[in-house]
Amino acid sequence: MTDRLALPARRGRTRGLAARLASRLASRLASWLPKGRTFVIAAPFAFLLVFFLVPFVAVLKISFADVQMSVPPYTSLVDLTDGTLKIALDFEHFRTVLTDHLYLGAYVFSVEVAAMTTLVCLLVGYPACYLIARADPAHRNLLLMMVMLPFWTSYLIRVYAWIGLLKNQGLINNVLIWAHLIDEPLKIYHNNWGLMIGMVYNYLPYLMLPLYAYLVKLDMTLVEAAYDLGARPAAAFFTITLPMSRRGIIASSLLVFIPAVGEYVIPELLGGSNSLMIGRVMWDDFFVSTDWPTASAATVAMVVLLLLPMAWFQRIRQKDIEGAR
């Protein structure tokens, strides 16, 4: 009888002990997890670590390997044989990338196309963003939706749609011939003209959206004060509006320039045989000639090249912060 009465008590003590252990374990795990601001900052860094740093380290490793006919098509950097550790690093691929005219020409052309794309997007997008930012607040969302409409369609479909517009028997040439504005079709497909049209069209929203976020927050009372002091609209724009939006211009321009350097789809579909950008060269090395180490070396060189404008922007931002203090 006594044992029967003691059994529930023992079960109760066991459950209480298990609950206390679970509570301590949960509190210990909670103390290890980032909290508040730390979690907000750690999340994007974790994303960059997994989806940028780890793949980049893998590409960097391949760039020091050598080509071989196997799966994967490159040699191992580390070899442990008979207790002897051997590390073999091949720098020949970097020498090829930095001295071969094919890669140097592709890099230069890619930078030229990216810079021209950024400039045209800025000339077209800045006035449009300024008008949207100064428009009636009730109409801003509608205007922004018109800017974002291209994102509702697949990127590849948008590029293919331009083929139907730009080719010799395309919509643009047919309309111009029908209107007797031209006698023969314009050569705007499979050349640099088609390349630039496709680049500007596809990258323009990437510039407009962040630039609008800067322009809509500008203090317009400064512009009104300039008008009251007798400044003309052009003078007020170049002395007040444009300098105040400098950081937005640089940030949005980098958002266009950096991915435009490595663009592959648009040069392949709309560009000509002379539109050889570095993205096409890396594609051929990876999937045609199966020269992964050289393609990886070209990728590493391109990443280093793109870090330069980012460092420049960070320096300008730091100067602005120091000047504000």
Domain range annotation of the chain? 2-65, 100-290
Are the C-beta atoms of 281 and 106 separated by less than 8 Å? yes
Q: How far is CA 94 from CA 62, 105, 175, 258, 320, in A?
A: 12, 15, 49, 21, 37
Are the C-beta atoms of 212 and 130 separated by less than 8 Å? no
Residue with tokens 């509190």: 27
Tell me which DSSP letter residue 78 carries.
Answer: E
Q: Is the pTM of this model over 0.85?
A: no
Are the C-beta atoms of 173 and 234 separated by less than 8 Å? no
Question: What tokens were used for 24?
Answer: 């301590």
Q: How many CA atoms lie within 13 A of 6 on its CB side?
A: 3
pLDDT in single tens digits along all 325 residues of the chain? 445 544 455 555 556 666 676 677 666 656 665 566 666 777 788 888 888 888 889 999 999 998 888 888 888 888 777 777 788 888 899 999 989 999 999 999 999 999 999 999 999 999 999 999 988 888 888 998 998 888 888 889 999 999 999 998 999 999 999 998 888 999 999 999 999 999 999 999 999 999 999 898 888 888 888 888 888 888 888 888 888 888 889 889 989 999 999 899 999 999 988 888 999 999 999 888 889 999 999 999 988 888 887 787 777 777 766 665 5
Residue with tokens 């207790």: 83
Name the CATH code of domain 100-290 (choices 3.30.230.10, 1.10.3720.10, 1.10.287.1080, 3.40.50.1820).
1.10.3720.10
Please state, in angstroms and rounded to a whole number, the distance separating the CA atoms of residues 189 and 196.
Answer: 10
Please state, in angstroms and rounded to a whole number, the distance separating the CA atoms of residues 117 and 32.
Answer: 47
